[in-house]
Structure 1
Amino acid sequence: MKINIGDVVARKSYQCDILFRVIQILPSQAGTLVAGLYGEEVRLIADADCSDLVIMDEQERSSRKVKQDELLEQSLYLLHQDYQLLREKQEYYATGSYSHNESFFHIPGRVLHLDGDPAYLEKCLTMYEKIGVPVYGVHCHEKEMADRIDNLLDKYRPDILVITGHDAYSKHKGDINDLNAYRHSRHFVQTVRNARRKIPSLDQLVIFAGACQSHFESLIRAGANFASSPSRVNIHALDPVYIVAKISFTPFVERINVWDVIRNTLTRERGLGGIETRGVLRTGMPYNRKE
């Protein structure tokens, strides 16, 4: 079966474990055709010989999508539970625990989401909107992020910055600690460094950085509050959204326990980690409803 750009495929040598989109097809030195692949649900970039690929039919794709949607809804439900609890606690503290009849308003943290994949960016923006997080989304190739970050920070002035896209560790390119063995980790690291030169405070600008199999330790050392991937595993396309939502809805007077942030994500501590960080939500009163 001929493989074409845009096909949704899986790798036979990996027991068809992950669905990919074919983004390019190029001849190899061996005379075969090699496909460039982007993960459909995980932020992984890969190459594979076209002979190793099988096109996934609509029925199989739909079946996998149902399972993914169930996991997403479960995470979303837990996130809403957390938000409701945080909101009630913040209102209690804001009033000094006195009873009153005033209404409150909440200002969650503003997000600038930089993504190397336009399809994933749209998925994330849809989820941000569903959750209620104010966000600006920018599609930017991973290699260009470091050069553009200064102007983007000036333009959008976010409370939270997301730097993500696609990544992968290639064992044949070097040791696991060698940044050159990763597809885009060094670009993510430089983007974090440039952002921290502009806004050094870990609480003034909260940064999530990384994608599948990214070099977690380098991203944290560069100044990220949260990053992927401690165990060099794949992360789900929407994992950054859940981390950001937790930060956005946590009051600025509270510190976020790292486990509380990652426990509702799909890949949890193997794929995501970070450091203790303040929330960015602010509560005000009174809320004047329009008649």
Structure 2
Amino acid sequence: MSDFNIGDIVVRKSYGKDIYFIITEINNNNDGNPIYTLRGLLTRIEADSSGVDLLKQNPRLVDQDKQKFLQKTQQALVAQSLSRRLYGINRSPGRPGSILHIDSSKEFLDICVNHYKHSKIDCFGHTVAESQQPSIVREMLERYKPDIVVLTGHDGLKKGDVDLKSLDSYRTSRYFVQSVVEARKYEPDKNKLCIFAGACQSYFEAIIKAGANFASSPGRILIDCLDPSIVCEKVATTDSRMFITPWSVARLTKSGTKGIGGINTRGHLKSARNSLRT
């Protein structure tokens, strides 16, 4: 009988209890012992573990930590906005680009959608498992016709000796690659459709090669649940006559340049101004 159940919140003893996980699946190994599939509660990491390495957490205390985390994140975003205003780096008047956000996590999706709404960006959100994203992304692009699409959820490197240049070493990266390929069949022009794809430790190079503008994770590190929305907010609110560098976007995120990379990308704000601000 399993010591843990689907929905339990746990930490891993071998990793210093550093990340809260929720158990999403239970399978037995060849010896008949349960192996638990884990998804990060506040980060976009997926992993698996035996029961001996797990400690169950008090949901009430976890929720308190979660609220503190979200509050700090929101405060940091507000501080960034105030800093831009202080130095005269205000958003140009006009209509921001629209965003289609496809996420395997309903909770993360809600957090990101709230961020878009706070930034007054039109957005469309759908919860879809990573494995199903390649089969639905084109239909959703045709339905909503967004300027920007986010393809995200959870990911992670598999245990053991892994080849960082093989999709087989990643838990869900192949689905992000396939989804980007399908999205580019809809719109090949990277200046007309901006694509962000990936999650924690994702195969960055393969996702970029498939046609994404931005992806995670160049340094195979964990990324924050809000990082994809921070990247796409920047794209949506940058004048369409200007280009965004990967560095300028990555520095706005918690994970930085080791977590987010990409290519120079045109903004998607349709400005009312006749000339660029210098």
**TM-based fold match above 0.5:** yes
* 1:218 match: 206
Tell me if the contact between 1:75 and 1:266 (Cα under 8 Å) persists in the aligned partners: no
1:271 equivalenced with 2:259 (yes/no): yes
Tell me, in whole angstroms, the C-alpha distance in 2 between the residues paired with 1:16 and 1:36. Answer: 16
Residues 15-34 of structure 1 show CA distances to partners (whole Å, capped at 9, x for unaligned) of 10110011122222223222
Tell me if the contact between 2:217 and 2:261 (Cα under 8 Å) persists in the aligned partners: yes
* 2:179 match: 191
Tell me if the contact between 1:247 and 1:279 (Cα under 8 Å) persists in the aligned partners: yes
| Structure 2 counterpart SS, 1:172 | coil
In the alignment, residue 205 of structure 1 is paired with which amino acid?
Answer: L
The alpha carbon displacement at 1:87 in A equals: 3.9
1:19 equivalenced with 2:20 (yes/no): yes
- Unaligned 5+ segments in structure 2 are 274-278
Give me the TM-score of the superposition, normalised by structure 1.
0.86
Tell me if the contact between 2:12 and 2:53 (Cα under 8 Å) persists in the aligned partners: yes
Alpha-carbon distance change, 183 to 14 in structure 1, aligned in 2, over 3 angstroms: same
Residues 63-106 of structure 1 show CA distances to partners (whole Å, capped at 9, x for unaligned) of 46424532442134214644784546x4xxxxxxxxxxxxxx52
Write out aligned runs for 1:5-154 (5 A). 5-57=6-58, 58-59=60-61, 61-63=63-65, 65-67=67-69, 69-79=71-81, 81-82=83-84, 85-87=88-90, 90=92, 106-154=94-142
In the alignment, residue 12 of structure 2 is paired with which amino acid?
Answer: R
157, 168, 182: which one pairs with 2:156?
168
Tell me if the contact between 2:104 and 2:130 (Cα under 8 Å) persists in the aligned partners: yes
Bigger Cα Rg: 1
In the alignment, residue 214 of structure 1 is paired with which amino acid?
Answer: S
Tell me, in whole angstroms, the C-alpha distance in 2 between the residues paired with 1:69 and 1:259. Answer: 26
Alpha-carbon distance change, 197 to 80 in structure 1, aligned in 2, over 3 angstroms: farther
* 2:250 match: 262
* 2:188 match: 200
Tell me if the contact between 2:42 and 2:66 (Cα under 8 Å) persists in the aligned partners: no
Tell me if the contact between 2:250 and 2:259 (Cα under 8 Å) persists in the aligned partners: no
136, 155, 159: which one pairs with 2:143?
155
* 2:224 match: 236
C-alpha RMSD of matched pairs (Å): 2.1
Residues 195-234 of structure 1 show CA distances to partners (whole Å, capped at 9, x for unaligned) of 1122111110001000010000111111111000001011
In the alignment, residue 77 of structure 1 is paired with which amino acid?
Answer: A
Alpha-carbon distance change, 151 to 136 in structure 1, aligned in 2, over 3 angstroms: same
In the alignment, residue 35 of structure 1 is paired with which amino acid?
Answer: Y
> Sequence identity, in percent?
36
Tell me, in whole angstroms, the C-alpha distance in 2 between the residues paired with 1:31 and 1:238. Answer: 38
Tell me if the contact between 2:45 and 2:200 (Cα under 8 Å) persists in the aligned partners: yes
The alpha carbon displacement at 1:144 in A equals: 1.5
- Unaligned 5+ segments in structure 1 are 91-104, 286-291
| Structure 1 counterpart SS, 2:163 | coil
The alpha carbon displacement at 1:59 in A equals: 3.1
